[in-house]
Structure 1
């Protein structure tokens, strides 16, 4: 059992769109990521995905709307819903999702990272 300091963990990496695993519980993983620019359209067929904004602002684009998230806000993308995260400036985000969640769902892309590092 160890406490986790988010600021310290975020200082350990600088790349974007490459989540790091910082905790696991009940088959779920807690991940930290830095985001900047646009990600790809994707969905997760069997898993919900939670985005919690630690620092910055994130837009999550859907086919019919855009959700804007600010610091200390979170949003749960339901399983099967196609989405595209967009970070105009660097964002620090905490993700909460089942360990089985593929980074870009069924989409294969240069940004796909299904072998995420534990911090």
Structure 2
């Protein structure tokens, strides 16, 4: 199987979509997916019982609400939400993020609901 020799240009990928809270898969790393998303507003409180979730802010500002504290991320900062920890991402301004999580991870975790969306492949 031939591997791609073309790097992923994050700015180019982000320019290809405008939907908010819609994850776009841009690469695969072993059994993990590298995804981009644009956020604005508040997501849903949810938990991923079986996996940690890495958030890396590319632009904007992201607050990850936890039940006992908030984590505020600026561009270039990342935070790993440990498995089983309830959290709720909030972005007061449009924010671009990179996510790293196991393939097939549901974006709303155990919460489900109308914001549940499968990650789309972005070519």
Q: Is TM more than 0.5 here?
A: yes
User: 1:34-113 maps to which residues of 2 (within 5 A)?
Assistant: 34-113=38-117
Offset at 1:100? 3.1
Q: Structure 1: how far apart are the matches of 2:91 and 2:26? A: 22
TM-score (norm 1): 0.96
Unaligned runs of 5+ in 2: none
Report SS of the residue matched to 2:120. Answer: coil
**Which structure has the bigger radius of gyration?**
2
Report SS of the residue matched to 2:121. Answer: coil
- Residues 68-107 of structure 1: CA distance to partner in whole angstroms, max 9, x if unpaired? 0000000000001000000000000000001131111121
Deviation beyond 3 Å, 4+ runs, structure 1 = none
Pairs aligned (count): 118
RMSD between aligned residues: 0.7
TM-score (norm 2): 0.93
Instruction: Name the residue aligned to 1:7.
Output: 11
Q: Structure 2: how far apart are the matches of 1:68 and 1:102? A: 23
Q: Structure 2: how far apart are the matches of 1:9 and 1:74? A: 19
